Amino acid sequence: MTLETTILHGGGFIEWRCGSGFGAREPLRIAPDDLRLSFEPPLPRLRIQHKAGGTLLWPAPRAARVVPGRAGAADLALPALPAQHVRSVVVDVSGRYLPRAFDLSLGAATQQSIALYASPLGTRYGTAGGVQGRLAFADGTPAAWALLELTVTPTLGGPLQFIAQADAQGEFRLALDRLPALTRDAPAPSYSAKLSVRASAGALATRPLDPAALTPVSIAKGRNAQGKSQFASTLSLDITPGTVRPVTSPKHELIVLKAD
């Protein structure tokens, strides 16, 4: 029997992670079966293969090479090919995660981890409860794809960070899993919390963006005597574990933002 080795070098590997929820936990890996990728510029000859641990990419014209016998280290070495920088958009056809854009370098056997954020549809509240709401800028434009960080300070222990992303209409849900329950002798019926937001006033509902490109915005904390919105870098609120709280800017119907 003749022994031979087939060698195929991938052009990149993407590991998909869930970025929503409790920020300090080990990121949950997302199976890529329902994920669809598109590239700018289009790459019609690109091969995409979803594996249990992520997605493998083979950019053309890379092809398999057959080596007689058992391959040695020189045979297995990655050939020197120029990296191809592309922009991609990933969409979860199941709707559990929001779409997003990201940059990728193909051809250099790169590996990277991409965070996806749960959609309102894909968010499930546990016994700890959560928060929900809708974000828009002062002119009424929905804050599409905005990122929210809620910092909750329990009675005991340090602050806890929770992360969520708004959908194309600026709506979000955030489950507060791992938020400790109130004890019987708790000095207050709730925990203090602060909400901060990163967003883009130019974001389009029809065009998912890269969350890493978002910048901090101000949040309406109320109205002055003339009825005008007053803004601050964070919004203070109280969180009661075990309940789902709708969040709005005080004296507003939703969370109102202003680009700094």
pLDDT attached to residue 70: 75
pLDDT attached to residue 42: 82
pLDDT attached to residue 64: 59
Question: Which residue ranges of the chain lie beneath pLDDT 70?
Answer: 1-2, 4-11, 59-67, 69, 71-83, 107-109, 185
pLDDT attached to residue 248: 98
pLDDT attached to residue 53: 84
Burial 115-150 (b: 16+ CB within 10 A, else e): bbbbbbebbebeebbbbbbbbbbbeeebbbbbbbbb
Domains and CATH numbers, the chain: 4-116 (no CATH), 129-259 (2.60.40)
Ramachandran bin of 232, using left for φ above 0, alpha for ψ from -120 to 50, beta for the remaining angles: beta
How many helices (H) and strands (E) in the chain?
1, 21
Cα–Cα distances in Å, from 26 out to 21, 30, 101, 147?
11, 13, 23, 19
Q: Which of 80, 6, 86 is nearest to 44 (CA)?
A: 86
